[in-house]
Structure 1
Amino acid sequence: MTDIQLSDSATHSNSELIESFLDALFLEQGLSDNTLAAYRADLDKFVRYVVAHLDDKPLLAINSADVEAYLAYRVDQGLKPRSTARAMSALKRFYAYWVSKQVLPASPLTHIAQPKLSQSLPKTLSEQEVEALLSAPDVADPMGLRDKAMLELLYATGLRVTELVGLRMEQVNLRQAVLLVRGKGGKERLVPMGEEALHWVEQFLKIGRAQMVKHANDFVFVSKRGIGMTRQTFWHRIKHYAMLADVKSPLSPHTLRHAFATHLLNHGADLRVVQMMLGHSDLSTTQIYTHVASERLKSLHQQHHPRS
């Protein structure tokens, strides 16, 4: 990692400053590749703006007026507030890093407020839609058996898709029916699998996986080439099964994670237990699911109560 000091900071290009910052996030905080890629994308967009509108000004010379102009530019371009909020978060973290290293005396974003966002509720599926989706794979086929195990496990545990496809054999304890999940920032948590998911994971490991693995590796779920799967591959599989099951609700890679949380709360689970299983560091992140659950209860009340 490049160690940049105040005295020689002017000799480093904007791209070198970004690389040094990202290296630090990886080495010191253990952020995932996906998180680092998101930071890189947002910082690269800012650099392109600086090149086009600020005469390629050094990032360490940026002031608050420059940042406010960038915010106005994004509004003019019709970019979504959530996208701008994420971009501002990346810039705040970038400049906070250089302040912490005493390369900058203060951040140009110190007095700039984060864009206000309306709280959007996560999209989820009904229990009937989940049942249809989970019943779609052909378990007589090794790949279908894999997909059945993955879908059951995703719904039973609320894992992030990156956590699911990255599962290693050492993280699975079949005897105790628990997973040791390594989440964001390298944080570990124990998550119970449940009987149904455990059954299908065992079936895949006994029957399907041996037919798919071509080279020795310790990934639990492998691709048709016998190697680790990508998020994109699994997302395509989810969409395929949603079409087979005639699921009309909007889908995202985290749809089953949202369903896991919402359905647990609908059935009376404690919010803090759900927080632990989801791997949320802040309870407020989990609380949004209580709004989904309450909206569902209101809908059921309106449909079935005689005075609604």
Structure 2
Amino acid sequence: MAKRPTKLQMLAQTGSPEKTCQATQSICSDFLDYLRSECHLAANTIDAYGRDMKRFTAHVADRKLNQLSISDLSDYIASLSSEGLAPASIARNVVATRTFFKYLQLEGIVEANPAELIVTQKMWQRMPGVLSRRQVEEFLRSPRKSDAYWQRDVAMLEVLYATGCRASEVCSLRVRDLSLAEKHLKCEGKGGKQRMVPIGTRAIKAIERYCEEIRGKLAAKSPHPPEPLFLSRSGQALDRIQLWRLVKFYAKRVGIDPAISPHSLRHSFATHLLAGGADLRHVQEMLGHASIQTTQIYTHVEHSRLKKVHQSFHPRA
């Protein structure tokens, strides 16, 4: 039985452009398997990398990976901007490309790593949207008692803002993850990393009301006792798409920017904490950021807000 050619041999094979494209796609597929099995990245992160790799392979076309230069990679990053991708998406593509080339080095497919020289432009670091405190109050009061599952929706929105958790983390919360008497909950973040997150009195009361008044009725619709905290009308776990739609619905009701998303409440949580004097390291821990650099963007957001206040009200601004 013939041995399967190595990745390097596949790439070195001469022939049609179609074969080169197939070899590149095969290597990209192996790269995603590597992220999944060895790096243990979250499914959503791997999906995002998969989309980035699909865009990357389409751009390099029939060019061999071990022949790409820094100029080729810079052209690729520049093409993302011309396609109208958001700054955050471009920045993620840069990270994906760098990670991919590190993988190519590990596999012996490339010797030098031109991706290390890619520079992320500052303009790609888009400031995240942040709600004012007044907007947050209006938003959290937007569910009405006439809404079918208002107790659940109030609790869900309160948890998003009170903890700064990601949408996927809120959807995966289980009843046994709650320690309301100790005022914290356990959530599972990216890569399966768990962390304890403090939770405030308002969110606790909202959760208790939801559990007492309606969660049991929703759970009864499921053939098996459901573990997730937030349930859909069918008794199943509320998913990220449903959560996203609910946030959009309530934002529209109170006249808040329609671009709001569950992540906007996470951004607001971090910015308001820093504005109140919280230590950056503590905010990093609560958000579950692996790097302090990721958290530092919120210091820039708060600085920009203070600058606007200064320009608006200082007599010599």
Structure 2 length-normalised TM:
0.83
Q: Match of 1:100, as an amino acid?
A: L
* Matched residue, 1:287: 296
Structure 2: how far apart are the matches of 1:297 and 1:249? Answer: 24
Matched position secondary structure for 1:45 = helix
Match of 1:46 among 53, 56, 74: 56
Q: Match of 2:160, as an amino acid?
A: L
Q: Give the conservation status (yes or no) of the 8 Å contact 1:275–1:286.
A: yes
For each residue in 1:171-228, what CA deviation from the matched residue of structure 2 results, as whole angstroms up to 9, or x when unmatched? Answer: 2223322111211222221111111101111111222211222222211111222212
Match of 1:276 among 277, 281, 285: 285
Fraction of identical pairs, as percent:
38
* Matched residue, 1:157: 163
Structure 1: how far apart are the matches of 2:74 and 2:302? Answer: 39
Aligned ranges 1:1-308 → 2 under 5 Å: 5=6, 8-10=9-11, 13-51=23-61, 56-59=62-65, 62-71=68-77, 73-74=79-80, 77=83, 82-110=88-116, 112-118=117-123, 119-139=125-145, 143-213=149-219, 214-215=221-222, 216=224, 217-248=226-257, 250-300=259-309
Matched position secondary structure for 2:118 = coil
Q: Give the conservation status (yes or no) of the 8 Å contact 1:125–1:255.
A: yes
Q: Match of 1:30, as an amino acid?
A: H
Q: Match of 1:251, as an amino acid?
A: I
For each residue in 1:254-307, what CA deviation from the matched residue of structure 2 results, as whole angstroms up to 9, or x when unmatched? Answer: 111111112222222222221211112222322222233344344445556677
Structure 1: how far apart are the matches of 2:97 and 2:311? Answer: 46
Structure 2: how far apart are the matches of 1:33 and 1:303? Answer: 45
- The 1:114–1:81 alpha-carbon spacing in structure 2 relative to 1, beyond 3 Å, is farther
Q: Which moved more, 1:63-72 or 1:224-233?
A: 63-72
1:61, distance to aligned residue in structure 2 (A): 5.1
Q: Give the conservation status (yes or no) of the 8 Å contact 1:85–1:114.
A: no
Q: Match of 2:200, as an amino acid?
A: G
Q: Match of 2:297, as an amino acid?
A: I
Q: Give the conservation status (yes or no) of the 8 Å contact 2:87–2:126.
A: no
Q: Give the conservation status (yes or no) of the 8 Å contact 1:165–1:221.
A: yes
1:89, distance to aligned residue in structure 2 (A): 2.1
1:246, distance to aligned residue in structure 2 (A): 2.4
Query: Looking at both structures, which has the greater relative contact order when contacts are Cα pairs under 8 Å and sequence separation is at least 6?
Result: 1
Structure 1: state its 5+ residue gaps: none
Structure 2: state its 5+ residue gaps: 14-21
Backbone CA RMSD of aligned residues: 2.8
Number of aligned positions between the proteins: 301
Matched position secondary structure for 1:175 = helix
Q: Which moved more, 1:96-105 or 1:151-160?
A: 96-105
Q: Match of 2:121, as an amino acid?
A: K
Structure 2: how far apart are the matches of 1:294 and 1:99? Answer: 40
For each residue in 1:15-74, what CA deviation from the matched residue of structure 2 results, as whole angstroms up to 9, or x when unmatched? Answer: 3222211111112222112111111111111222233xxxx3454554445434434544
1:156, distance to aligned residue in structure 2 (A): 0.7
- The 1:44–1:193 alpha-carbon spacing in structure 2 relative to 1, beyond 3 Å, is same
Q: Give the conservation status (yes or no) of the 8 Å contact 2:185–2:199.
A: yes
- The 1:274–1:71 alpha-carbon spacing in structure 2 relative to 1, beyond 3 Å, is closer
1:105, distance to aligned residue in structure 2 (A): 2.6
Structure 2: how far apart are the matches of 1:76 and 1:292? Answer: 26
